[in-house]
Chain A
Amino acid sequence: MKNAYIWIGGIALVLASATDVLAVVGRHIGVPLRGSIELVQAFILVAGGIALIIATHAGSHARVHILADRMSPPWKARVERVAAALSALLICAFLAGGLWIAADLWGSQEVSELLHLPYRVLRIICNVCLLLVLLAWLRKVLGRERP
């Protein structure tokens, strides 16, 4: 699964890069690529969402170690579990807000300006990524993964 995340996120980055390069070249040779920014936004959403999942699974979120590094291992494990629970709570808030807006705008046919990319799909991708981040944090709370 982890490999799948890495390849999907990486390919999304490559596609974002390729789209921007084509847009720059097109602009300079007089063949502008319409809506390139909208495409890049969609690729960046996929890459960014997956980056959050990977960083959470890898336990690489930035933190201040000044106190945690001086604790005994059992206390450190407890504190890390509490931190994981707080993290899950925050992601829950982001997800709840995301779902709320998605539900409110579900029937509004919200699309991007030039390419008419359906925002509904982008919101689903965003919320699925947040859900996977939430699950990753919950695994740490339950002790199935190192926080």
Chain B
Amino acid sequence: MMATPGTGLIGIAILLALLVAGTPIGVALGLVGVGGLVLVLGLEPALIKAGVVAFDTLTRYELGTLPLFMLIAQLLFAADASRDLFDAAAKFVGHRRGGLALASVGGCAGFGAINGSSLATTATIGMVALPEMRRRGYSDALATGTVAAGGTLGQMIPPSGALIVFGIIAEQSIGQLFTAAIIPGITQALFYLAVIWLLVLWRPSIAPRSERAPWPERLRAIGRVSDMLLLMLFVIGAIALGWMSPSEAASVGAAGSFAIIIWRRRLTMAVLHKAFADTLRTSGMILMVVLGALVFSVFIGVTGVANLIADGVSGLGLGPVPTLILIALLLLVLGSVLDGLGLMLLTTPILLPIVEGLGMSPIWFGIFIIRAMEIGFVHPPLGLNLYVIHEVTPDVPIRKIFKGVVAFLLSDLVHLLLLILFPVIVMGLPQWLAQ
């Protein structure tokens, strides 16, 4: 069979069918990739390509970044990071109206800097913050919506698992991606804080005031998280300033996490076993998707379907901003049926050439697609974060959680639009540091 864009389009259609049928995402991507390569190149080159991808990926130095950052998260989680982070934020702003919701966003941002996963951030901060907010009389919609939206910060604030995977797939510097994500991550958190402030201003009864924590208590709470925060600031700063590669920074972070958990007398064989098991299980899941996506992107490259779509899009003559808005809409629609990782890995080989053709940097695209992925975590019908929250608070109907997240979703869309209109939000920091 000839390698034509038509072959590529058939491959994409089969891939979507396999995904909807419940085939593991990595397997569906890989099967279409290998199967397509067998058809267009022949059995021998296809199998050899598959073997090369498997070995090269498994021995890839940068790949170490992913499990090591996950190990940091698991170790610090065992050291009660989520509870301490929320507690510290709550001690400072909890007495203000809506303060615990603001503290939840702060806790999510802090835990996101340790964790790198949207679902894990939502679940862990949710378990700590939701009972507290509900006990203090916060409305269920505000409490659940805040944590569901705040949890997405885990995906954006570096170190982020999704950014590492994007860096590997798109062959971009993981360090630059982390640096580029800092300002969008901070502005996203500020948007959420603004949403909470506006909601509470509009309906003060949804978030009553609590008692003010005295300063010694506040300082003790800050003291409990200072070691973790300093470690993560050092890790992220070292990457941004070019002192260490992301892999080295992840290793130093893992060593630091071991030191913290030993210092806190939390390191037992059971804790270590659980940390290793969870790290390896999640890494294996992501690794399978990466392997499949790499083979799939070879197939997409061979068929030229990405170029065909790129030509078609540029033929529309829409100009960069409308085209990027169109791509954002496509990602949001696909995000309704595909999970975040699948969405990113399916669309990156196709959309990246289009975006580059519009003069945008692949680093910008990485941040843009992850921002779109995050929105998929909170918008119906998939909205995985909403279901995570529902598991944490089963007595709150899912409809109410959806309702609570709407205001945050609107702020997400505005934030995404700003990233398109002002790419400097993403590229400013890496360009400034490069000077």
B341 within 8 A of A: yes
- Cα–Cα, bound, A95→B68 (Å): 26
B58 within 8 A of A: yes
Known: A66-B20, A67-B20, A98-B51. A60 touches B27 (CB 8 A): no
- Cα–Cα, bound, A130→B284 (Å): 12
Interface size on B (CB < 8 Å)?
68
- The reply to whether B48 and A83 form a contact with Cβ atoms under 8 Å apart is no
From B68, B277, B341, contact of A62 by CB (8 A): B341
Name the A residues within 8 Å of B58 (CB-CB): 44-45, 48-49, 126, 129
- The reply to whether A45 and B21 form a contact with Cβ atoms under 8 Å apart is no
- The reply to whether A97 and B64 form a contact with Cβ atoms under 8 Å apart is no
In terms of DSSP, what is the predominant structure of the interface of chain A?
Answer: helix
From A17, A43, A48, A66, contact of B287 by CB (8 A): A48
B80 within 8 A of A: no
Q: Which of A13-60 contact B (CB under 8 A)?
A: 13-14, 16-21, 23-24, 37, 40-45, 47-56, 58, 60
Name the A residues within 8 Å of B277 (CB-CB): 6, 10, 54
- Cα–Cα, bound, A61→B19 (Å): 12
- The reply to whether B25 and A63 form a contact with Cβ atoms under 8 Å apart is yes
- The reply to whether B338 and A89 form a contact with Cβ atoms under 8 Å apart is no
- The reply to whether A97 and B59 form a contact with Cβ atoms under 8 Å apart is no
B170 within 8 A of A: no
Among A43, A55, A65, A101, max chain B CB count under 10 A is at A55
B194 within 8 A of A: no
Known: A13-B67, A17-B68, A97-B51. A62 touches B61 (CB 8 A): no
Q: Which of B267-289 contact A (CB under 8 A)?
A: 272-273, 275-277, 279-289
- Cα–Cα, bound, A51→B51 (Å): 18
From A16, A23, A63, contact of B24 by CB (8 A): A63
Name the B residues within 8 Å of A18 (CB-CB): 251, 255
- What 0/1 readout, one digit per residue, does chain A (96-112) give for beta carbons within 8 Å of chain B? 11111100000000000
- Cα–Cα, bound, A137→B432 (Å): 49
From A9, A17, A45, A93, contact of B276 by CB (8 A): A9
Chain B: which residue is nearest A41 at the CB level? Answer: B59
Among A14, A17, A66, A130, max chain B CB count under 10 A is at A17
B60 within 8 A of A: yes
From B18, B26, B50, contact of A97 by CB (8 A): B50
Question: 25 A-B pairs, CB-CB below 8 angstroms?
Answer: A13-B68, A13-B71, A13-B279, A18-B251, A21-B251, A24-B244, A44-B59, A51-B279, A54-B281, A55-B281, A55-B287, A60-B282, A61-B27, A62-B285, A63-B19, A67-B22, A87-B23, A93-B34, A94-B50, A94-B53, A97-B48, A99-B51, A100-B44, A101-B51, A126-B58
Additional A-B contact list (13), CB under 8 Å, known A62-B341, A101-B48 = A20-B251, A40-B251, A41-B60, A42-B59, A43-B64, A45-B58, A51-B281, A51-B287, A55-B284, A55-B285, A66-B337, A83-B23, A122-B59
